[in-house]
Structure 1
Amino acid sequence: MNYETHFASDVDMERFDPETLRARKRRRIFLALIVAAVVVIAATLLFGRNSGAGDTGSAGATVVAPVVTVLSPGQSAFQGTVTATGSLNARIDMPVGVVGEGGEVVRVLVQPGDWVKAGQSLAVIERSVQSEQARSLAAQIGVARADAKLAKTQLDRARQLVGRGFISQADIDQREATLAAANARVGVAEAQLAEQRARNGRLDIRAPASGLVLTRTVEPGQVVGASSGVLFRIAKDGAMELRALLSEADLARVRVGVPAAVTPVGGNQSVKGHIWQVAPVVDPVSRQGIARVAVPYTPVIRPGGFAAVSIVTSTGNAPMLPESAVLSDPSGNYVYIVNSKNMVERRSVKVGQVSSSGVAISSGLTGQEKVVASAGAFLTPGQKVKPELQKAAR
């Protein structure tokens, strides 16, 4: 017990001995001075390398010029475009129904997606009764012609006898009238037969014009008539269109005949077309108008579908900059350029078309300047910089 107590006392005395504490403090101060010296030497070496690229202020301090990426955009061809969406439709949608008296459908000759010619039969109607009626009228023509032939023979004989005094002139007049009536009956019978044949011809449902069959709502065995409604829909000549909804401002920039590219939803294939009609009125509620884009038929164009359209409104050449190079504030849009003294200058610009290729500058630049590509918000006019040139994005 005495030995342990004595050992613990020696340890406590050594821990709190003044000389020991002062030695430890001196070691700590020495280590701190060494670390500070290393930091000063490292900073001196680092800033000494860039001393040639900096400026010396009035107080003798060296100012390091920041490196900025600049580009010389030149002149690039661009197209001003308006983008919109809308529905696909047949340019001329022709509903086809029953034009005759109708009847039972015997055969349907076309399917949706088939191309047809003007006058081509789309469906055949049963016509047994109408055919017998036509035969009856044809027979009546034969009877009327026989009566007319007999009347003419009797008239010729009477004219031979009138000179001998056997027949009076009144009999001749009567026989002439009989012949005229017989000829008239022949004409009536022929007209009735032609009418019946025309009715029979209208029994079949025919295409009013050449085009693409879009829909079919009739099947064999179905009884159709004037009240059956639309049985087929045909896109005349297969011509399609996109009815694009545009704002008032965009509608004012669109003209008939300008090119456009239509891309159906769900596809990546664009179909070239052109504006064929611009709405003369604007919806007072939505403040939008319709521009109708004519496109030729292709399998990717399906009436009733949805599509996007890009309409060309203008073309030209202008400097093209990335969006990061164009800044804005309450005074308007501007860019920073680096002059021949490697100093930053502010240049006000007017922005044109904005697209995936960049921002077209319609005025304010010639394209030969060195424009700061990015980080312009961290610069100030008159600041000294070190420009690093890169190619403009095309």
Structure 2
Amino acid sequence: MGLVAMLAAAGYAWRTGIIAWDGKVGGGANTQASRPVPVTIGPVHDDDFPLSRTGLGTVQAFNTVTVRVRVDGELQKIAFQEGQDVQVGDVLAEIDPRPYQAQLKQAEADKARDEALLANARLDLDRYSSLVVKEFATRQSVDTQKALVAQYEAAIARDRAVIDNAQVQLGYTTIVSPLRGRTGIRLIDQGNIVHANDATGLVVITQISPISVIFTLPQQYLPEVLEASRRQTLTVSAYAQDDRTKLSDGQLTLIDNQIDQATGTMRLKATFENQNGALWPGQFVSSRLTIGSGHGAVVPDSAVQSGPNGNYVFVVKQDSTVDLRPIRVAASRNGQALIAEGIKPGETVVTDGQYRLRPGSHVIPGGPTAGQRTASTAQGRE
């Protein structure tokens, strides 16, 4: 039994590498470490790098109007299609104009009557004025006639105001667009009786070109944003929620005048021409504010690793071993990172395959990328 146990222990030691082929005692870990690890490497570039700050934003219409009626009556016609682009002055709807046309005609008739009375009163005043010289009329009759002329003149002024008001009311029966934008869902149907005090309007029009984005940044960025905005007009890029698909470029137009104490953030507003309609009111976007540019060591984001003591990269040395190098990232954008300190342009770093590396590991270029590993893993599962 003792001999069997010794033979079994020797076989286990040989299989695990404790005893090498030459009979010397060795560690399996050392044997594994001596094997080159296939990795993907890349050079550290010396390049200009745009410095930006990214915050979550919400797209808002540049102007929004709820179109309401201003007079009462029957809604005889809806002249727009839902989702239609309209210009300033385009007819949207029509209310039955006949009651207001009748009011206008009545006001015009009152004015004509008062003008006739005024003409006659002025003639009488001229007669009384000539008779009073010959003492055929009293001074009192002349004064009374002057007062009557003034009364008719005031009546005509009132008639003009009534006519103007009637024309305005008649104009309100034709409802036009107050701005250039896009109509939304129709809020009322043709044939309904509408009132000026109705809470519901006819339609909501939103101006989407240009359009605005309201976004937030942590308050610690306020000094650098203010300083950069004094030097030049700052550019804001709107990205989809994946933070990779650019939707549009615009300009920073407002830094809000106070910090939100509840969240410790500042609000900013950017304006986009949005000619292609990529931005839509209510849409969530990633807003990237460019505040300047830096210059230095630039590496792919995939090279930067995170550890308990901060960020680091694996630098490939001349002897094909790697060194773990702590770094400080100044900024990152579009899959690239600007390194403030820790590495220099011209060095070589591992960009993929770091999960098998330790300081001092031997590496060999040509390891699979992260995408290739994912594809091969998926194929293995099928």
TM-score by length of 1: 0.67
Q: Report SS of the residue matched to 2:281.
A: coil
Q: Tell me the residue number matched to 2:170.
A: 200
RMSD: 3.9
Contact residue 323 and residue 359 of structure 2 kept, 8 A: no
Whether 2:332 is the aligned partner of 1:361: answer no
1:39-118 residue pairs with structure 2 within 5 A? 71-99=42-70, 101-118=71-88
Alpha-carbon distance in structure 1 between the residues aligned to 2:138 and 2:46: 108
Alpha-carbon distance in structure 1 between the residues aligned to 2:106 and 2:316: 100
Structure 1 counterpart of 2:179, one-letter code: A
After superposition, give the CA deviation of every residue in 1:112-149 in whole Å (9 maximum; x if it has no partner): 44344444432111121221121111111111011111
Whether 2:260 is the aligned partner of 1:282: answer yes
Select between 101-110 and 209-218 the one with higher mean Cα deviation. 209-218
Contact residue 212 and residue 238 of structure 1 kept, 8 A: no
Alpha-carbon distance in structure 1 between the residues aligned to 2:58 and 2:350: 43
Q: Report SS of the residue matched to 2:260.
A: coil
Contact residue 102 and residue 225 of structure 1 kept, 8 A: yes
Whether 2:203 is the aligned partner of 1:235: answer no
Alpha-carbon distance in structure 2 between the residues aligned to 1:218 and 1:265: 35
Q: Tell me the residue number matched to 1:182.
A: 152
How far is the alpha carbon of 1:343 from its aligned partner? 8.2
Alpha-carbon distance in structure 2 between the residues aligned to 1:215 and 1:264: 26
Contact residue 84 and residue 308 of structure 1 kept, 8 A: yes
Q: Tell me the residue number matched to 1:295.
A: 272
Whether 2:93 is the aligned partner of 1:123: answer yes
After superposition, give the CA deviation of every residue in 1:289-341 in whole Å (9 maximum; x if it has no partner): 65443222433333234444444344222212245644565554444556779
Relative to 1, partners in 2 of residues 1:224 and 1:82: Cα closer, same or farther, differing over 3 Å?
A: same
Q: Report SS of the residue matched to 1:220.
A: coil
How far is the alpha carbon of 1:109 from its aligned partner? 2.0
Alpha-carbon distance in structure 1 between the residues aligned to 2:324 and 2:161: 91
After superposition, give the CA deviation of every residue in 1:318-369 in whole Å (9 maximum; x if it has no partner): 2122456445655544445567798876654321223453332122333134
Contact residue 51 and residue 331 of structure 2 kept, 8 A: yes
Relative to 1, partners in 2 of residues 1:128 and 1:338: Cα closer, same or farther, differing over 3 Å?
A: closer
Which stretches in structure 2 are left out of the alignment for 5+ residues? 1-20, 23-33, 367-382
Which stretches in structure 1 are left out of the alignment for 5+ residues? 1-38, 41-63, 390-394
Relative to 1, partners in 2 of residues 1:316 and 1:268: Cα closer, same or farther, differing over 3 Å?
A: closer
Structure 2 counterpart of 1:208, one-letter code: P
Count how many residue pairs are aligned between Structure 1 and Structure 2: 325
1:1-394 residue pairs with structure 2 within 5 A? 71-99=42-70, 101-229=71-199, 230-236=201-207, 238-244=209-215, 257-263=233-239, 270-279=247-256, 280-282=258-260, 284=262, 290-297=267-274, 298-323=276-301, 325-326=303-304, 331-335=309-313, 337=315, 347-371=325-349, 377-380=357-360
Contact residue 112 and residue 214 of structure 1 kept, 8 A: yes
How far is the alpha carbon of 1:150 from its aligned partner? 0.5
* Bigger Cα Rg: 1
Select between 231-240 and 103-112 the one with higher mean Cα deviation. 231-240
Q: Tell me the residue number matched to 2:26.
A: none
Q: Tell me the residue number matched to 2:30.
A: none
Contact residue 86 and residue 307 of structure 1 kept, 8 A: yes
Alpha-carbon distance in structure 2 between the residues aligned to 1:148 and 1:133: 23
After superposition, give the CA deviation of every residue in 1:264-309 in whole Å (9 maximum; x if it has no partner): 579966222233334533372x666654432224333332344444
Structure 2 counterpart of 1:294, one-letter code: T
Relative to 1, partners in 2 of residues 1:320 and 1:174: Cα closer, same or farther, differing over 3 Å?
A: same
Q: Report SS of the residue matched to 1:216.
A: coil
Q: Report SS of the residue matched to 1:368.
A: coil
